[in-house]
Structure 1
Amino acid sequence: MTKDVIALTPEMPDLPTLLAGLYAGGPDLGVNTTADGAVVQLCAPDGRPLVSVEAPILVQVPGEATRLLGHAVEEGPVWWTEARASTAVAEAARLAGSFAGRLATVLGGTVWPPEAATTDVIPLTTDISAIPAPAIAAPAVDVLTDTTAVVIQDRPLIAVTSWLSDALRTAAGSDRALQIVTPPTARLTLPARTALRGLPNRWVVQDPEHGYYDGLSGAVLHWKNGTFTPMQDDQGAARVAEAFAPAPDTGDRQLILTLRTRHPADENLVLGRALETAFRHLTGAPPAGWSTAEPVNLPWSTRQLTDLARARAPRPTWLVAVGHPDRPALATLRVLRTPAGVEEDIVLALGYGGDEAPPLDAIEELATALDADGLVTLLTSLRAARRDLTAPPSLEAPPVPVAFTLGSDEAEAIGRARAGHPPLGLTPTRVGLEGKPALHYPMGDGTDPDAWSTFQGLIRHLFTAAGSTDMIRPFFNTETPVPKR
């Protein structure tokens, strides 16, 4: 297990300041580098890593530290320097706190969590020869088996940090599942929920009274054959943990848009415009920033994210975008190079309190605007969930479809007669160009669960006959199935 400590400073920690921080353990400890120099490790005399420090990143997006840490930070850019301490050695967590505290003292910043901050020299007194050496050198992974990489986190909010992103890539590259173990007080950001929603990855909640369970499905888990797996009854069905109970309905809602765009792969292509369009229509402003991990640290720029995706092609590129602090808005964007061109898969979530009305009346106009930028499909849904867009380890109602939009090119490919006359009593609205419109299918105000049956029937009608099974799959896997009680 590891303990995370973060220094937030108005100035970049230079080499002398970093060395002063690394001197937190006195002269007997050593320093090592890994990840091509991106991670510096404070090590015991035998070379065992005690604290791993990632290269500082400049967070230029307002509100990011508050969103992820609940930690007030002065306005303006802030340097985020994160340290992970191994809890296998008693002094490691205090070493991380002393490292961060020294940076904050020299540069005038703050430390999260605040109680971790110190500038004391922490001598190593533990007999580390009696402690088993870690099985893997990767600083983000705590347990590694043939099938699974386990990360144990004690943060209140689990985000897809560069640490976790690296662990995801490492696990996927070695054909392993990534399983994150947290206390029941932890929550997930939208990107973390997306990353852990589908098997083989899993969010494992360690409840002191109820044992282990899946934080997204509620399935009771146990450690078996080197991985956390559901416990089954005599009929082979998984059980739901008692702790996985519905949270009280506070009136908070999340508006969720799941959309795909497709573009010709030419040198003039600019990515991210559809996402920017959605932000402008629903929040009144473009995204505040984007990044390949959390915290989101770069000011919004479609040109820069396009350059990154082009440099990585034909490999896919995964990105996060965030809105301004006054309106919770968070999106993930995946850029794929396919035989048909360049595709963007986008999930955008916006949070509303009980006294705020989600702008459902803006969706049809948004669909019209998106069709001008290569829209393939758009699913709009509404769910009872937290305004801050985080996911607790408790049962949440699934999103209810509000509308579905079929882009004009996709409608042409399916056939206007078929797409325009579904056998379900749905009457699509023609939006966009008069001669080649997109088709917009309203399905309610997000309060009728039966809209799911209507939506699924529509999707089967549109895509099964056309043989587009790849189009169907994302819509039928929007939530992790809940096992039987």
Structure 2
Amino acid sequence: MTKDVIALTDRMPDAWSVLAGLLAGGPDLHLRSAAEGAVIQLCDAQDRPLVSIEAPLLLHVPAEARRLLGVTQTGAGPTWWTEARASTAVPGAERLAGVFAARLATLLGGTVWPPDAPGADDPAHPVDTSGITAVPAPAAAQPAVDVLTDKVAVVLQDRPVIGMTGWLSDALRATLTSDRALQIVTPRHCRLSLPTSTALTGPPTRWVVQDPDCGYYDGLTGAVLRWRDGAFHAAKDTDGQSPVASAFTDVTRTTERQLLLRFRTVHRPDADLVLGGALETAWQALTGELPTGWGTAEPANLPWSRRHLTDLAYERAPRPTWTVAVGSADRPALATLRVSRTPDGVEEDITLAVGFRDGEKPPVPAIANLTAELTARHNLRTLLAQLREARADLTVPPHFQRPPIPFGFALGPTEAAEAGTDIAAHPALPTTTPVRLGTTARPGYYYPLGDGESAEGWTALETLLRHLRGTEPGGHDPAGGAGSSRMS
């Protein structure tokens, strides 16, 4: 098991300050590097890791420390985020990580999270490491992985918000390449960021929540879990049913809302292409401002830049590029963007979430104009707009959340032509008149589905999709199935 300790410093951790921190265990511990030099590990005499330390991250986005850790930064400039993971299975390792982080904060100015980390209050005295030994790490384990079986990689986390950190994204990639599932285990007070919850695609990949009443349950479905045959599985009662944890269903209704947009654009791969324009357009329409930061993991550490985003995607092509974008503290907004090369061109798959506090009205009517602009300027292919009753801070708690309700769907001109222009122009929705997008000669359509508060939005969406696919009772597929898989 591991424990995270983070040093948030005003100045860059240079070689000497890092060395002073590493000497928290005295001169008898060994050093080695991992993850192609991005991680330094303090090891025992048998070269087994006690503490793993990630390369410092320059955090240009001040709100990220507060969003993920609940820490308000006091410095006027950027902050350096240096993260250490200690094995709690090894007596003294957690104190070793705490002293390391506290030494950095003392030398460079800053704070330690969590503030009560063992050793953080006494960084001057090194930890007595005599007799400390670590359990052997499996050869396939990443620094973030706490338990590795032939079925799953288990990561233990205890933070206010479990973000898709560099540690966690590395562990997720490792599970995919080794045909394993990722299972994240947390206490009940933790929440997931939207990127992390999106990555947990269903069993056997799970969010495992510790609970004093039932032991463990799935934080996204509520199913009571048991460790069996090298993984967490849903428990079964005497009738063969999976019980649901009472903590999952103990929910208080909220008046806060999240507006969710999932849309796809495709661009010609020419030399002048600059990505991120569709995301900027949607972000500004819904929040009145632009993203403040972006990155390939959480925390998002870089100032928002479409040019730098494009450069990264170009360097990684033809491999896809996944990034996260964040907004200001005044208007909670977060997006994930996946750039990939397809036979049609350069595709951007975007999920944008915007939070609205009690008393704030989500701009549902504005989506029609937004889809028109995305079609005219960014070659929109499809868009789904939804509203959900959920936390305005965009985090996911380990209890039941009402599913999002669709209130709008759009087809760009290319998708409308694939479905059949006449079919797309005349949906089988008696109370809905589609809004034409694009030109008369090459139209697309936006279909209002309701106000986002009534579950009838799901019925309207299902009816619309059946119509567009030509699968209505007694109907036929006018497009011969072309493009139908993209209308889901």
Q: TM-score, with normalisation over the residues of structure 2?
A: 0.93
Which amino acid in structure 2 is aligned with residue 84 of structure 1?
A: R
Which amino acid in structure 1 is aligned with residue 308 of structure 2?
A: Q
Which residue does 1:470 correspond to in 2? Answer: 485
Q: In the aligned structure 2, how far is the partner of 1:418 from the partner of 1:234?
A: 51
Which amino acid in structure 2 is aligned with residue 389 of structure 1?
A: L
- Could you say what secondary structure the match of 1:376 adopts? strand
Aligned-pair identity in percent equals: 58
Which residue does 1:19 correspond to in 2? Answer: 19
Which residue does 2:212 correspond to in 1? Answer: 208
Query: CA distance change for structure 1 residues 368 and 246 in 2, over 3 Å: closer, same or farther?
Result: farther
Query: CA distance change for structure 1 residues 209 and 237 in 2, over 3 Å: closer, same or farther?
Result: closer
Which amino acid in structure 2 is aligned with residue 180 of structure 1?
A: I
The correspondence for 1:380, drawn from 382, 385, 409, is: 385
Which residue does 2:96 correspond to in 1? Answer: 95
Which amino acid in structure 2 is aligned with residue 50 of structure 1?
A: L
The correspondence for 1:290, drawn from 280, 294, 317, is: 294
Which residue does 1:133 correspond to in 2? Answer: 136
1:370-414: CA deviations, max 9, x gaps? 112011111111000001000000000000111111112211221
Query: CA distance change for structure 1 residues 171 and 469 in 2, over 3 Å: closer, same or farther?
Result: farther
Which amino acid in structure 1 is aligned with residue 486 of structure 2?
A: M
Query: CA distance change for structure 1 residues 55 and 275 in 2, over 3 Å: closer, same or farther?
Result: same
Q: In the aligned structure 1, how far is the partner of 2:224 from the partner of 2:243?
A: 6
Answer whether contact 1:403 1:440 (CA < 8 A) is retained. yes
Indicate the larger mover: 333-342 or 233-242.
Answer: 233-242
Indicate the larger mover: 235-244 or 188-197.
Answer: 235-244
1:235 deviates by 5.8
- Could you say what secondary structure the match of 1:243 adopts? helix
Which residue does 1:104 correspond to in 2? Answer: 105
The correspondence for 2:194, drawn from 167, 173, 190, is: 190
Superposition RMSD in Å = 1.6
Which residue does 1:217 correspond to in 2? Answer: 221
Which residue does 1:446 correspond to in 2? Answer: 452
Indicate the larger mover: 131-140 or 192-201.
Answer: 131-140
Which amino acid in structure 2 is aligned with residue 165 of structure 1?
A: S
Flag structure 1 segments of 5+ consecutive residues without an equivalent. 476-485
Which amino acid in structure 1 is aligned with residue 92 of structure 2?
A: E
1:317-348: CA deviations, max 9, x gaps? 11100011110000011112112222111111
Q: In the aligned structure 2, how far is the partner of 1:265 from the partner of 1:127?
A: 56
Which amino acid in structure 2 is aligned with residue 201 of structure 1?
A: T
1:8-29: CA deviations, max 9, x gaps? 1111100000000000011121
1:233-268: CA deviations, max 9, x gaps? 466543322221152122111000011111222222
Answer whether contact 1:246 1:396 (CA < 8 A) is retained. no
Answer whether contact 1:89 1:126 (CA < 8 A) is retained. no
Query: CA distance change for structure 1 residues 234 and 344 in 2, over 3 Å: closer, same or farther?
Result: farther
1:20-65: CA deviations, max 9, x gaps? 0000011121211111111011112221211110000101113111
Flag structure 2 segments of 5+ consecutive residues without an equivalent. 471-476
Q: In the aligned structure 1, how far is the partner of 2:300 from the partner of 2:415?
A: 33
Q: TM-score, with normalisation over the residues of structure 1?
A: 0.94
- Could you say what secondary structure the match of 2:270 adopts? coil
What is the aligned length? 471
Which residue does 2:56 correspond to in 1? Answer: 56
Answer whether contact 2:62 2:73 (CA < 8 A) is retained. no
Answer whether contact 1:210 1:243 (CA < 8 A) is retained. no
Which amino acid in structure 2 is aligned with residue 182 of structure 1?
A: T
- Could you say what secondary structure the match of 1:344 adopts? strand
Q: In the aligned structure 2, how far is the partner of 1:463 from the partner of 1:79?
A: 51
Answer whether contact 1:253 1:353 (CA < 8 A) is retained. yes
The correspondence for 2:339, drawn from 335, 338, 352, is: 335
